[in-house]
Structure 1
Amino acid sequence: MHPVRDAGLLELGDVPEQGADIAPGLRLVPAPGHTPGHVAVEIRDGEETALIVGDSVHHPVQMPHPGIGSCVDIDPARAEATRRSLLAYLAGTGTLVLGTHFPPPTAGRVRAHGDAYRLTSVPAGVRH
């Protein structure tokens, strides 16, 4: 980021609570708690949707236990609230979830499992 900033090309902006479309099929979704301004990235292609969760969900173990945080979350309570909200939103939607820090399998779909959630893996190359 330093070279971009030093060249005068860095533009910062706030992502509104409802998210922001930044290009066709590409949307930023606020995911506060890990760091100020943290976002998840939603990608759409026709009827298919994927969400790169970034640092809002560090590991699949947080799905059945969203209260487990990361030692690097700036605001742990807000990070947990974001995780709970994202997981509730994603459960059963068919959205492909891409975990930035997930061990293999790094992609899957969120399913409700009792009062918690579970990641159902999706093998590479499989659509819906």
Structure 2
Amino acid sequence: MPRIRTASPHSAALGAAHRPPAPATYVAAGLRLLPAPGHTPGQVAVRIDSPGSSALITGDPLHHPVQLARPGIGCTADTDPAMAARTRAALLASVADTGTLLLGSQFAHPTGGHVRRDGTAFRLDA
């Protein structure tokens, strides 16, 4: 499986010290932390919902827009590459064609857009 090279030597050192929150951990009204396992221990995505609009801040599971077309492409910092690929695919599927704004924490400009299904893959409409 191809991987995107990143500079993250600390990932392995974190080990099991960081645990993700339970599914759908509500921080405040309209603000949820979603476990995003596979990249670094304890990684979460942030879901923001308000009447009529929503957004998903991806955190580290998505490093590059090419991963929308090929969610199986990981990065060298993924502690569990197979889990990271499943997490990417699940996050993308959860927002595809819903009008939810995807904000890619690692993306170069444009950092956000709407996810659309494109056959068996996804694409970002900025």
TM bucket (normalised to shorter chain) is: 0.7 to 0.9
SS in 1 for 2:75: coil
Gaps of 5+ in 2: 1-17
Q: Which residue of 2 aligns with 1:95?
A: 100
Gaps of 5+ in 1: 1-11, 122-128
Distance in 2 (alpha carbons) for counterparts of 1:93 and 1:29: 18
Over the aligned positions, Cα root-mean-square deviation in angstroms equals: 1.3
Q: Which residue of 2 aligns with 1:39?
A: 44
Higher relative contact order (CA 8 A, sep 6+): 2
Q: Which residue of 2 aligns with 1:85?
A: 90
SS in 2 for 1:79: helix
Compute the TM-score of the two structures, normalised by the length of structure 2.
0.82
Moved more, 37-46 or 102-111: 37-46
Query: Deviation per CA, 1:1-35, whole angstroms, max 9, x where unpaired?
Result: xxxxxxxxxxx775113x11111121101110011
Distance in 1 (alpha carbons) for counterparts of 2:104 and 2:20: 23
Q: Which residue of 2 aligns with 1:111?
A: 116
Q: Which residue of 1 aligns with 2:22?
A: 16
Q: Which residue of 1 aligns with 2:56?
A: 51
Compute the TM-score of the two structures, normalised by the length of structure 1.
0.81
Query: Over alpha carbons, which structure has the higher Rg?
Result: 1
Amino acid in structure 2 at the alignment position of 1:97: L
Distance in 2 (alpha carbons) for counterparts of 1:94 and 1:69: 26
Amino acid in structure 1 at the alignment position of 2:81: P
SS in 2 for 1:40: strand
> Deviation of residue 36 (structure 1)?
1.5
Quick one: structure 1 residues 26 and 61, their matched pair in 2 at CA, closer, same or farther if it must change by over 3 Å?
same
Distance in 1 (alpha carbons) for counterparts of 2:20 and 2:85: 21
> Deviation of residue 103 (structure 1)?
0.9
**Equivalenced residues, count:** 109
